[in-house]
Structure 1
Amino acid sequence: MNLVLTVLEIVSPVFLLAGLGTAWTRAGWDYPVEFVTRLAMTLAVPCLIFTALTKTEVDPAALASISVAAAICYGAVAITTALVVHLLRLDQRSYLAPLTFGNTGNLGLPLALFAFGNEGLGYAVVVLAVTTIGVFTVGIWMVSGGSKPARVLREPMFIATVLGALFLWQGWHTPEWLTNGLTLIGQMAIPLMLLTLGVAVGRLRPNELGRSFLLSLLKTAIGAAAALGIGHALGLSAVPLAVLVLQMITPVAVTSYLLAERYDTDSGAAAGLVVVSTLLSVLALPLALAFLL
């Protein structure tokens, strides 16, 4: 019973805020998704990443280990997913990227924070950084057939990660007044991302839910297997391994739907994967936490 209550305490704030976002849009009230997303991704999340890295007490070597593990996991997931998509005779451009990259920001960060505290958040932002680099390089290549790797160098989240890692490595610290300001801005990130996730899911109108359910189950299983296998092979300790598993089984991100719209792939398929995998995560993430805690 204590374990069940602990898991509920961790996941309830996440789904409460996302549910509020869905209820907001269902009520017909205005929510400027583009503006809020830009605010979160260019200001709040970079500040959160930078301050989380500079204030973390996690050994830099451990952060480096989980970044390597995350990169290898994404490679393994991409190869396995490509085989599944090929065997099912699905369109690679429409399905490969959504099934490879998860929602490591909107759901991954708050879950890691609530479950494992600031230590877990430190590991989670590293996985988010690897995800961001992957989405804006390999992910765009998967969707469009062509990629511009230099684009990631201009992403605020990437810049914040590099600066945070540099400060962590050198033991540098920003002035207290600046640290407090950046921390205050970063505190907006998780509520904004969860509310926006709920709004975006509430606005989607997916098709082919049966196929989306099967693929969402496969995504969860492939991600969990990759994280557990590679994490154990690299000798990750309990907390980074748990964070890696959580991040690798997060549902399909709304970003996949936006990329599908932009590059003229099957946006209906992407929308279905976002909605179904997010609903499935209501069961999958608590079960994973119960196993990992």
Structure 2
Amino acid sequence: MGIFLQVVLPIVSVFAIGFILQKWKKLDVKPVSAVTIYIFIPFLVFQAFYGEKFGGEFSIIVAVNFILLFAIIAVTKISSLLRKWNRGEESGMILATAFMNSGNYGTPIVLFALGEEAFRYAILFMAVQTIVMNLFGVYYASRGNYEIRYAIYAVFKMPTTYAIIVALGLNFLGVDLHSRVIEMVDFMAAVALPLMMIVLGMQLANIKFDQFETGKVALGTVIKLVLMPVVAWLCVMLWPMPDLLGKVLIILAAMPTAATTTMFALEFRSRPDLVSSVTLVTTLLSIVTLSVLLIFLV
């Protein structure tokens, strides 16, 4: 109960504020989401990459991102073959299971549970996951209707990508920015996290579905909240890494479905009802599953 009260409840309360605000005022979430994605998150990512001393830990973060992605895609494809899903159903399930909410949800959980050093790992993970999701998420949402180059274009349309490139360039060249510039970056980055959390609550309030496919939603929930953190735990057990990084990877892998996948599914008409259902169910159940997981990790 202590973990729930100290870590999970404060974060869920911020989501609830966004949820209640949206149900009450019925605002247009797109402008708020755009400001978050196009302005504040790039500053947060720039802050992390500019000050990062890259080594084996970053390589582990990148590798685990791809291991989780391909492991879950493989499981979903096997399920698709066994259950004789069509391509649309398979794509919808991949969107619902392969991408975690490491930004709006994962980073604040890590910060509250493990502190500032762990938060740095979480930001790096979120940045890599954003690129992976924009590439593979758009591909699976759009395959059959759009070309793969659209997915690549989506990655380079996101300012986060350029924030990473600029930060890495300055970092590797050893360029020291003026203290006032650093202060401005820190000021803007500080806004990103609470705004991301409010936006998630607003996005959840807008989730609608006409059909609730119990079997698929249950399977997607198990894959997302049980299987993915188990895969991350195996990576941590088999791969020598700092204990703190291992905890961060397991926690982030246990996050619910990324709300962004619902937007992909809606835009490309890739089973949005299914993706929305899994997103909502995993987000609600994660309040319990994360509380239990944190008891063992913190």
Same-fold status (TM-score > 0.5): yes
Counterpart selection for 1:254 from 251, 259, 262: 259
The superposition leaves residues 120-139 of structure 1 with CA deviations (integer Å, 9 ceiling, x where unpaired) of 12211222122112222222
Deviations 1:64-107 (A, max 9, x none): 22222222222222212222233233311221122101111111
Deviation at 1:259, TM superposition (A): 0.9
Higher mean displacement: 151-160 or 91-100: 151-160
Q: Please state how far the C-alpha of 1:61 moved relative to its aligned partner.
A: 2.7
Comparing 117-126 and 151-160, the one that deviates more: 151-160
Residue among 16, 28, 41 paired with 1:19:
16
Which deviations, in whole Å up to 9, do the C-alpha atoms of 1:2-55 show, x marking residues without a partner? xx424531222210110111111222x143310111111111111011113334
Deviation, 1:187, is 1.4
**Displacement after TM superposition at 1:169 (Å):** 4.5
* Structure 2 portions without partners, runs of 5+: none
- For the 8 Å contact 1:213–1:277, the answer to whether it is kept is no
- Counterpart residue identity of residue 189, structure 1: A
Alpha-carbon separation, structure 2, partners of 1:78 and 1:240:
24
**What is the TM-score with the length of structure 2 in the denominator?**
0.89
Which residue of 58, 76, 84 maps to 1:81? Answer: 76
* Structure 2 counterpart of 1:9, from 6, 9, 27: 6
How far, CA to CA, are the matches of 1:264 and 1:150 in structure 2? 19
What does residue 147 of structure 1 align with?
A: 148
Instruction: Write out aligned runs for 1:125-274 (5 A).
Output: 125-145=123-143, 146-148=147-149, 149-206=152-209, 207-208=211-212, 210-211=214-215, 212-274=217-279
Counterpart CA distance in 2 for 1:173 and 1:32 is: 40
Aligned structure 1 segments of 4 or more residues deviating by more than 6 angstroms: none
Q: Is the 8 A contact 2:262 2:276 kept in 1?
A: yes
Partner amino acid for 1:100? A
1:278 corresponding residue in structure 2: 283
Distance 1:125 1:287, change over 3 A: same
What's the TM-score, normalizing by structure 1?
0.90
Alignment partner of 1:62 out of 46, 52, 57? 57
Amino acid at match of 1:181: M
What is the percentage of aligned positions where both structures have the same residue?
A: 22
CA contact (8 A) 2:127 2:160 kept: yes
Q: In structure 2, what is the Cα distance between the partners aligned to 1:75 and 1:204?
A: 27
Q: What are the ranges of 5 or more consecutive residues in structure 1 without an aligned counterpart?
A: none
Amino acid at match of 2:253: M
**Whole-angstrom CA distance in 2 between matches of 1:236 and 1:83:** 31
| Separation (CA, whole Å) in 2 of partners of 1:239 and 1:267 | 36
Match of 2:119 among 121, 132, 143: 121
Distance (whole Å) between structure 2 residues aligned to residue 234 and residue 171 of structure 1: 31
